[in-house]
Each structure stands twice: as structure tokens, then as C-alpha cells.
Structure 1
Amino acid sequence: MTRLAGEPGLPTGVSRTAVVITQAREAESARPDRLFDDPLAGPLADAAGRITGISEAGRHAAEHFVLRTRFFDDRLREAAEAGLRQVALLAAGLDTRAFRLKWPEGTRLFEVDLPDLISFKEKALADQGARPACDRAVVPADLREDWPSALLSAGLDPDAPTAWLIEGVLMYLTPDEAGRVLGRVSELSPPGSRLAVEHVNKAYAELPQMRPAMGRLASTRAAWRSAVEDPSAWLARYGWRATVTHQADLARALGRPVPVMADPRTVGSARIWLVDALRDEVRDEEGHRPTTGADDDAVHR
């Protein structure tokens, strides 16, 4: 089903990018060798209004979305196995992990996103009779504003280790905005918390193959606004010990071809960073805790 003019659907702007990702999850779920199963992806794509005429770069991006989904699924499973029972998904979009993953008893999962998107998603899920596999709370909030207050009001315990996921959003924020998000996450994360995050470097954003996609994103008020050159160093400034996984290694480990847009033979030094990190009680040489403010030295416009 393609959304017609005047029909209800997902709001425009960054929120519309979630539809392409959902369609990629739907296609993956139909494969006999699928890396995950997302039975709600198709109904959500229908309700949102499917995106047609996807470019070649967009089709290649679908390979990334599939690997990324599995990567972050596994990181959240590891957090649960480590005993974390509090999960926060920032800019959750049309994510359905609260419904499709097997969560241990006592898990509470928070989804933070823009009010219009959450309103749309809640109706679409209700229409499907979807029931979460954990205690799920939705938090309408803009990551550029005071989302921590909304999250705390929804019941997040700042003294409990949290598994955070920041997937597919940091590149849409300015360097200052991205730094503030990480700072606020860090302030709410006691030792033992975990963080899974995606970003890109400047070379990736400037790939010739990405120019058509960048133009379309800009036309829908969803331009990429930042990049990071060393995600481990960047996260270390906020007190996180990070591990970066190369997509080529991830693809080979999962028995899949290396995505064209992640193959160094094709894209050179361009990178999509897939990162998982652990929150330690880190202090610098003078015994001070790391800063939680924005850091423009590591993030570039």
C-alpha cells in the first residue's frame, strides 16, 4: 500500500526515513535464512505509507539496515544476559524490539521519539493488537530539547544500569546537539550501563554514491548534520569504553556478503560506525570524571 495525498500516515521529515528501514526489516523477515523476524514490520510500513522508487543507494542501504538491526539486537540481548533490566531506545522510530525480542522478566523498556511519530505508531500497533514482551513505556520528546526530564517522569531509574540504544539518529543532529545527547545519557548512566550507537564519518557522508540520497534527505528536512572520525575517542570523553565493529567483519560473521556501501574496496576510508560501549567509573589522570558536555573536537560538521 502506498500512501496517497491526504491519507493519514507517518509525519514528514526525519520520521519518514523510518519507513525505508521498516521495509528492509520486512524483506529480511521473509527470507528463509533471516537474521531476525519482525512480523510487525509489514503492517507498520502499510500504515505509514510505503516508500517506492528507492534509489540504488537506498537499496544498498537496506543491506546495512539488516546488519545493523541484528547487531543491535545482539547487543541488547547481551545487556539482558548481563542482568540489565532497564532499556532506553532514543529516537525509536518504528522499532519493534519491545515486541519481537525475548526479554527477561522484570525488563522495562522506554521508547523516546517525537510526539507525532509516537502517536502514529501507538495507533498502528493497537490496530494490530500488538502486545509487548516487556513492560514498555513510550516517551514523547525531542532529543534536541529536555528529553531526560520526560524520561525520568516516565519512570526511568537513574540509579539502575541502563542499556541505551541510539540508532540511526546522531547524523541528523548538529555536533552540539549530538554532544548534549551523549552528555545527558552519561549523566543518567551509573557504572555497568551499556550503550549501542551508530554514526558515520565525514568521508561516508561525502561519498559520490550518497549524493542523491543526501539531496532527498535535505528536501524532506532530514539532512545529515554531523559526523564523527573516532567514535572510541569521542565516547571515552563521556566515560564510555567503546568497541567498534566494522560492517565487513559483521557481514562475514553472519554469513552475508559485505554490503557495497561498507566494502573498503568500494568506499575507501568511508565508514558507518557500529559501536557498543560500557560505562565504567572512569577518571582522568587528575582523578576527575570525564566531561558530559558537547565536544566539538571529535565531531565535525
Structure 2
Amino acid sequence: MRTDGDSWDINTGVGSTALFVAAARALAGRAADAPAHDPLAEIFVRAAGPEWVDLLEGRVPGHPLLTPDFGMQFQQHQIARTRYFDDFLNAAAATGIRQVVILAAGLDARAYRLPWPDGTVVYELDRPQVLEFKRETLTEAGHKPRAQRHEVPVDLREDWPNALCENGFDPSLPSAWLVEGLLIYLPPAAQDQLFDAIDALSAPGSRIAIEQMDPLPEAAATAMADSDGGSDWVRLIYNEPRSEATAWFGARGWTGERVYLTDYLQELGRPLADGVQQQSLINLVTVVRP
């Protein structure tokens, strides 16, 4: 399990999950009919070291990302949520929003790969090591941002709202917020503090896309702890009851909707992978401030 004072970078602890997630996106996105494609994910994975290259080249068939009880579900989860958040940002841009904030950005390369309208500014918040790795890797590969990209090197346990505003964010303008793959790594109280900060910084017309997960039942947690790959993931999360995002923001005047990942996969016409059904607990939320 997590501890409140732990430290990490791109190659250790929670930071290493950014590579794990990027590898899942790269693998799952190879199919021609995949719900989403992120060609930049493979660039990050190959730059991370020979063990990651071996995974992409099929030389480690026993890797956790390739196991039927965890890995295949995890791949499906990552590529489906990529589609959901891509669609969210494209829709936000279509409404005229030109200010985007990606919290715990990790190896999210949407500033480089989505078709942003002129004048769009994307703020990426994460630890400096992660942002540096991303920038240097994509620059070396010849990729440039398609929007104005502002790095905000800050730990979300610090005063990130002030750091965001100091880097040019304007709370008087509507904004689109991405909270993807983050909440389960926060204690419940820290999640509420995060929601409070987003609410305070969001002008009318703002919208937020959030990934959240119901707590794992004891039997499911045990099964995942015993699975190949799932055990490492379970140790990194805070598996505790917490505020449900749609209800939390709804009580503050936002309107929203959520969909469970299993239902969303069915909407996309995707069959569910076999194994421990962590997918049945994951849900995706969009809320809008009138």
C-alpha cells in the first residue's frame, strides 16, 4: 500500500506505473480496430530501457501485461479510457475551450497528438523527472506539441493551484480538466482536497473528465494480489471508500454523468477480457459547470 510521504520518479514506485500504462496503450493500440491509437506511447517505452523493448518485441511472454488474468484486462482498460478522454477533450475544444489542465500527466502525449484548435494551451502537472523524460524523449524523436504546452513541475501534494496559476493558467476562463489514472493513488481526504481546488479554479463553462474506481471487495483484492502483475498494482493504491465524483460535483452545481468501464466497452463493441474483473469497478465521469 501507499504511504503519504513516499517519493518516486519515472523509473520507480508510482512513477514506473506511467511506463506500465504507456506499454499497455502501445500493445493494445496495435490492433487495427482498437478503440484508440497512441503511437507516441511506444516511443516512451522503447526509450525507457532494454527490458521494455523486449516486452514490445515479444521476448518476454510471461510479462504481467501479457497474462490472461490481469494483463489483457489492463490493456483493454487503458485503451478504452484513452478513447474516452480523447473524445472528451475533442468535445471540449469544439465548445470553444482553449485551456486544458492534465493532472498527474505522466506520459500523456495528448498535447503532441490531438488536433488542437489554434490558441489552445495545455498545462501538464507532474513531477519534474517525469515531464523532463517526456519532453526530451519526444524532442529526440522529432515530435513537437500541437498546442502551447506548459510544463508545471509540481507534486500534487504541494501547492499545485498556485504553481498552475504562476505558469499562466487563468481561472476566469473556462477550462477542461483531465483526472485520469490518479484518484486511486490518493487517500480519500486528498481526493476531496483535489476536487475542492479544481472547483475553485473552474469558471462557468468548465468541464472535467474523471476516472474513478469503486473499492475492491476483499475477495477481488485477494485474487488480484495473487495474480501475475496485479499484486504490484494493488500495493500502490488506496483501496478505501471515497467520495463519488458525480455526486460530489453535483452537490456544488455541476451536471454530469458516469459510465462503468464494462458498459463503455460494450458501447464500443468490445468483448470483455477474461480474468479478474477489475473493469467492473472502474467508471468514467464527465461533469460540466453551467
Q: TM-score range by the shorter chain?
A: 0.7 to 0.9
Other structure's SS at 2:70 match: helix
Using the TM superposition, give the Cα deviation of residue 257 of structure 1 relative to its aligned residue in structure 2, in angstroms: 0.9
Structure 2 unmatched ranges of 5 or more: 1-8
Match of 1:257 in 2: 271
Q: 180, 190, 196: which is aligned to 1:177? A: 190
CA distance in 2, matches of 1:206, 1:178: 25
Q: 214, 227, 232: which is aligned to 1:216? A: 232
Q: Structure 1 length normalisation: TM-score?
A: 0.81
| Contact 1:199/1:228 (8 A) holds in 2 | no
Match of 1:61 in 2: 74
Identity of matched residues, %: 37
Structure 1 unmatched ranges of 5 or more: 1-8, 281-301
CA distance in 1, matches of 2:248, 2:219: 21
Moved over 3 A (4+): 203-206, 212-215, 225-231, 259-262
Match of 1:195 in 2: 208
| Contact 1:99/1:130 (8 A) holds in 2 | yes
| Contact 2:111/2:122 (8 A) holds in 1 | yes
| Contact 1:197/1:275 (8 A) holds in 2 | yes
With over 3 angstroms needed to count, the CA separation of the structure-2 counterparts of 1:267 and 1:127, relative to structure 1, is closer
CA distance in 1, matches of 2:260, 2:213: 12
2:247 is aligned with 1:233: yes
Match of 2:286 in 1: 276
With over 3 angstroms needed to count, the CA separation of the structure-2 counterparts of 1:238 and 1:91, relative to structure 1, is farther
Other structure's SS at 2:123 match: strand
With over 3 angstroms needed to count, the CA separation of the structure-2 counterparts of 1:211 and 1:156, relative to structure 1, is same
Aligned residue pairs total 266
Match of 1:290 in 2: none
2:157 is aligned with 1:144: yes
With over 3 angstroms needed to count, the CA separation of the structure-2 counterparts of 1:75 and 1:260, relative to structure 1, is farther
Using the TM superposition, give the Cα deviation of residue 125 of structure 1 relative to its aligned residue in structure 2, in angstroms: 1.6
Using the TM superposition, give the Cα deviation of residue 84 of structure 1 relative to its aligned residue in structure 2, in angstroms: 0.6
Using the TM superposition, give the Cα deviation of residue 29 of structure 1 relative to its aligned residue in structure 2, in angstroms: 3.1
With over 3 angstroms needed to count, the CA separation of the structure-2 counterparts of 1:72 and 1:78, relative to structure 1, is same
Match of 1:89 in 2: 102
With over 3 angstroms needed to count, the CA separation of the structure-2 counterparts of 1:225 and 1:116, relative to structure 1, is farther
With over 3 angstroms needed to count, the CA separation of the structure-2 counterparts of 1:206 and 1:152, relative to structure 1, is farther
Q: Which amino acid aligns with 1:64?
A: H
Q: 101, 112, 119: which is aligned to 1:99? A: 112
Match of 2:175 in 1: 162
Q: Which amino acid aligns with 2:23?
A: Q
1:193-229 CA distances to partner (integer Å, 9 max, x unpaired)?
000001111136861432245641466xx33354446
Q: Structure 2 length normalisation: TM-score?
A: 0.84
| Contact 1:148/1:184 (8 A) holds in 2 | yes
Using the TM superposition, give the Cα deviation of residue 13 of structure 1 relative to its aligned residue in structure 2, in angstroms: 1.1
CA distance in 2, matches of 1:147, 1:229: 21
Other structure's SS at 2:39 match: coil
| Contact 2:100/2:177 (8 A) holds in 1 | yes
Most deviating of 52-61 and 18-27: 52-61
Match of 1:37 in 2: 37
| Contact 1:247/1:258 (8 A) holds in 2 | no
Using the TM superposition, give the Cα deviation of residue 239 of structure 1 relative to its aligned residue in structure 2, in angstroms: 3.9
CA distance in 1, matches of 2:166, 2:262: 41
Please tell me the root mean square deviation across aligned C-alpha atoms, in Å: 2.3
| Contact 1:240/1:278 (8 A) holds in 2 | yes
CA distance in 2, matches of 1:58, 1:36: 18
Most deviating of 97-106 and 56-65: 56-65
Most deviating of 156-165 and 27-36: 27-36
